[in-house]
């Protein structure tokens, strides 16, 4: 869609993926006014977007999508033309301990945004768009073969996945019922700079640095399809501008790894970077109790976005991983700041 001189609201822009999406939009589209709305939960960090503060087209709004009245007020005040919705509770393990947080933010929070979008545009949507960012976890778990396509039936298995699935359904229902123009994308596992060290890759990087045990869930033979976060941001930009309203696009890395193989590669690269003897970090691998209801395998068929919009990952896994490790090693302060206080409590509860 053409959004020249329009106001684009991006939610969750202080988080991992959101920070990369905001940066791409602020720098690539100077004619848009970008509003980054974030509640700054444990996962939101203004350090992730500090470099954008001096840009004239960038605005930050601290707000909670669960507060329906404040959200409505903000929409009435700014009359956003488009929304790119990333704000969410995003960690599967936390959804197992606190499912209601996920239902509230991911389901009701999304509904609050949709209601505010309707209210401000009064169901007259020429040139407007609601872009909902979702996950491949809505499709459930794959066996040894097969890929998730856009028509795979939903079969979410964790409280996180089911809250995202519910939000996808609600977005589509508003499209069908009220004519609200939407697009949805469902992406595979992201990695890269700014990812909170509760997720596999940054958690293991941090532990390797500190020579702490590497907690592998179950037998470690779970498969994920990894995508470099900046490539996800590029895909979102392309779908936002060239995607067809009402459509869904799967985004993935064509890049499946079992956790164990990925962890071994990570250990090898970290040993090289930290000048440690070969095999040193692998000794830290510790098998721990499995995640409840752990999905065995995710893998995305990203041929639709590839064929229709010409998108494909721009970096190989080896290149992306190297950039990621270099970023975490160069940003020791960032890592220290997010792993003190509440993080230690979380870690002790989760892994003791
Ligand atoms: P994240 O946890 O790093 O960031 C989430 C952001 O949302 C944080 O800045 C947080 O402060 C904000 N937020 C949380 N609750 C909020 C609320 N009530 N109001 C306003 N802001 C709130 O998450 P992420 O990994 O960057 O994921 C972003 C989105 O992409 C999510 O919707 C997630 O489901 C989806 N996604 C993530 C991945 C992945 O691999 N990380 C893959 C596919 C899809
Ligand atoms: O597939 C997309 C999803 O990817 C996103 O929607 C989620 O927001 C994101 O968190 C991610 O979910 P996963 O559960 O796949 O990611 P996580 O990094 O938590 O775990 C990746 C794999 O590593 C998974 O099989 C569990 C395993 N794992 C994870 C942690 C944190 C371990 O073995 N040990 C760990 O300590």
* pLDDT for 5: 75
- Closest ligand relative to 15 C-alpha: 1
Q: What is the pLDDT of residue 235?
A: 99
Domain co-membership, 94 together with 65: yes
How much of the chain exceeds pLDDT 90, in percent?
98
Q: Examine the residue annotation and report whether 58 is marked as an active-site residue of this protein.
A: no
Mean pLDDT along residues 297-312: 98
Binding pocket residue ranges, ligand 1, CB within 6 Å = 11-12, 14-18, 38-41, 43-44, 64-66, 86-90, 105, 109, 133, 135, 164, 187, 189-190, 196
User: Does residue 66 register a pLDDT over 60?
Assistant: yes
- Shared-domain flag, residues 170 and 283: no
Whether residue 279 lies inside any domain: the answer is yes
Atom 35 (ligand 1) nearest CA: 134
For residue 187, give the ligand 2 atom closest to its CA. 2
Quick one: 135 and 210 in the same domain? no
Q: Tell whether 121 and 234 lie within a shared domain.
A: yes
Active-site residue flag, 150 = no
Q: Which domain holds residue 61?
A: 7-191+226-251
Q: Is 120 strand, coil or helix? A: helix
Same domain (yes/no): 24, 45: yes
Q: Which residues are near ligand 2 (CB < 6 Å)?
A: 90-92, 135-137, 188-189, 199-200, 203, 215-217, 222, 224, 259, 291, 298
Average pLDDT of the residues in 158-182: 98
Nearest to 118 by CA among 61, 177, 64: 177
**Could you tell me if residue 321 is inside a domain?**
yes
- Distances from the Cα of 155 to the Cα of 161, 173, 298, angstroms: 9, 18, 12
- Residue 18 included in any domain: yes
**pLDDT tier at 208, thresholds 50, 70, 90:** very high
Is the same domain home to 320 and 242?
no
The pLDDT of residue 289 is 97
212-257: per-residue pLDDT in tens? 999 999 999 999 999 999 999 999 999 999 999 999 999 999 999 9
Q: Which atom of ligand 2 is nearest to the CA of 291?
A: 26
- Measure the CA–CA gap between 348 and 89, rounded to whole angstroms: 20
- Both 247 and 261 in one domain: the answer is no
Decide if 247 is inside a domain.
yes
Q: How far apart are the first and last CA of the chain?
A: 49
Distance 155 CA to ligand 2 centre (A): 17
| Whether residue 261 is found in the same domain as residue 128 | no
Residue 30 placed within a domain:
yes
151 C-alpha to ligand 1 centroid (Å): 24
User: Hey, which of 15, 42, 43, 92 would you mutate to test ligand 2's pocket, going by the most ligand atoms within 8 Å of its Cβ?
Assistant: 92
Active site (annotated) includes residue 301: no
Cα dist. 127→135, 136, 178, 267, 278 in Å?
A: 26, 28, 15, 49, 56
Helix or strand or coil: residue 59? Answer: strand
Q: Give me the mean pLDDT over the 265-281 stretch.
A: 98
Determine the pLDDT at residue 17.
Answer: 99
Pairing, β 223-228 against β 256-258: antiparallel
- Structural domains in the chain (count): 2
Query: What mean pLDDT comes out for the span 345-350?
Result: 95
Catalytic residue among 136, 225, 230, 256: 136
Q: Please indicate, yes or no, if residue 238 is contained in any of the structural domains.
A: yes
Residue 309 inside a domain? The answer is no
Residue of 14, 44, 162, 231 with the most ligand 1 atoms within 8 Å of its CB, for mutation:
44
For residue 266, the model assigns a pLDDT of 98
User: Is it the case that residue 25 has pLDDT exceeding 60?
Assistant: yes
**Per-residue pLDDT at 2 exceeds 60:** no
Percent of the chain with pLDDT over 70: 99
Any idea what DSSP says for residue 310? -
Cβ neighbours around 336 below 10 Å, total: 10
Average pLDDT taken over every residue of the chain: 97
Count of residues in the chain: 352
Same-domain status, 172 and 279? no
Ligand closest to Cα of 263 equals 2
Together in a domain, 36 and 20: yes
The enclosing domain of 269 has a CATH number of 3.90.25.10
Confidence label for 4 from pLDDT (cuts 50, 70 and 90): low
Kindly state whether residues 54 and 101 are assigned to the same domain.
yes
Indicate which CATH number applies to the domain containing 72.
3.40.50.720
Structural domain includes residue 163 = yes
pLDDT of residue 352: 85
Residues 60 and 136 in one domain: yes
Nearest atom, ligand 2, residue 93 CA: 19
pLDDT (mean) for 11-38:
98
């Amino acid at each position: 869609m053409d959004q020249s001189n329009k106001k684009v609201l991006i939610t969750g822009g202080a988080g991992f993926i959101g920070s990369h999406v905001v940066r791409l939009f602020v720098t690539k589209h100077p004619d848009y006014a970008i509003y980054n709305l974030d509640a700054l939960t444990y996962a939101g960090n203004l350090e992730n977007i500090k470099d954008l503060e001096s840009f004239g087209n960038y605005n930050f709004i601290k707000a909670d999508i669960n507060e329906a009245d404040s959200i409505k007020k903000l929409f009435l005040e700014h009359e956003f033309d488009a929304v790119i919705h990333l704000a969410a509770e995003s960690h599967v393990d936390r959804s197992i301990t606190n499912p209601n947080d996920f239902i509230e933010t991911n389901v009701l929070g999304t509904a609050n945004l949709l209601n505010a979008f309707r209210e401000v545009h009064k169901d007259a949507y020429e040139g407007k768009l609601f872009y909902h960012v979702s996950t491949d976890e809505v499709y459930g778990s794959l066996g040894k073969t097969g890929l998730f396509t856009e028509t795979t039936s939903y079969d979410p298995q964790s409280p996180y996945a089911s809250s995202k699935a519910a939000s996808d359904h609600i977005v589509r229902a508003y499209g069908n019922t009220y004519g609200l123009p939407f697009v949805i994308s469902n992406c595979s596992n992201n990695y890269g700079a700014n990812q909170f060290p509760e997720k596999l890759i940054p958690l293991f990087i941090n532990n390797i640095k500190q020579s702490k045990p590497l907690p592998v869930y179950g037998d470690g033979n779970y498969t994920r399809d990894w995508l470099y976060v900046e490539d996800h941001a590029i895909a979102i930009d392309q779908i936002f501008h060239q995607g067809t309203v009402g459509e869904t696009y799967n985004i993935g890395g064509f890049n499946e790894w079992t956790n164990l193989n990925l962890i071994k590669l990570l250990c090898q690269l970290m040993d090289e970077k930290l000048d440690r003897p070969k095999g040193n970090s692998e000794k830290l691998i510790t098998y721990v109790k499995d995640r409840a209801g752990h999905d065995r395998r995710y893998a995305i068929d990203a041929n639709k976005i590839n064929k229709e919009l010409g998108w494909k990952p721009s970096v190989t896994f080896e290149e992306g991983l190297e950039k990621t490790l270099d970023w975490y090693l160069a940003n020791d302060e960032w890592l220290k700041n997010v792993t003190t206080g509440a993080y230690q409590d979380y870690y002790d509860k989760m892994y003791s």
